[in-house]
Amino acid sequence: MFNLIKNPELKENAEDLVDNAKVRAKQIKNEITDDVEEISAEVKKSATQLGKKVKAKSAETKQEAESFLSSIKRNLDSDKISDKSTEIAEQLVVFTDSIKEELIDAFKASIAGTEKVVRTRTLLSLSVAVGAGLALGYVLAKSGTTEEA
């Protein structure tokens, strides 16, 4: 590549510069790989924690549902079914609101965990997002050309 350079010192400096650039590129690649693996581990940990929380809330919700059903059974056994229908409807609204709040809290927790990872690794997160966007664009462009053919 540097055969056209007549000055041996200049040629050696150019070769050293190329070698140093190659070494630095490998170092950067290794650093990015390590960071991606670390982010993957953090995301997996967050997903596992979220799964455990959702499972615990599901068990709690199941108990509430069973309690609600037993309450309905007690109310159906009484002579005042028409009077109790309003009470049952109110309990159902409270129950659905409770479930909705728990799901919102779980969703907010997952968003907070993801935001924490993205904020601590901003450049890497941006690089991963750009890479994913390019890959998706490439795949979509390829699929669009095959449909036209």
- For the residues 32-47, what does the mean pLDDT come to? 84
Q: Give 117-142 pLDDT, tens digit per residue.
A: 888 888 888 888 888 888 888 888 88
Residues 6+ apart with CB under 8 A from 42: 117
Residue 145 lies in a domain: no
Residue 49 lies in a domain: yes
Residue 88 lies in a domain: yes
Q: Sorting pLDDT into bands at 50, 70 and 90, what band is 36?
A: confident
Residues 6+ apart with CB under 8 A from 65: 95
Which residue range forms the structural domain that includes residue 87? 8-132
- Residue 133 CA to residue 129 CA, distance in Å, equals 6
Residue 144 lies in a domain: no
Residue 109 lies in a domain: yes
Q: Sorting pLDDT into bands at 50, 70 and 90, what band is 149?
A: very low
Residue 147 has pLDDT above 70, yes or no: no
Check residue 52 and give its pLDDT.
85
**What total of structural domains would you count in the chain?**
1
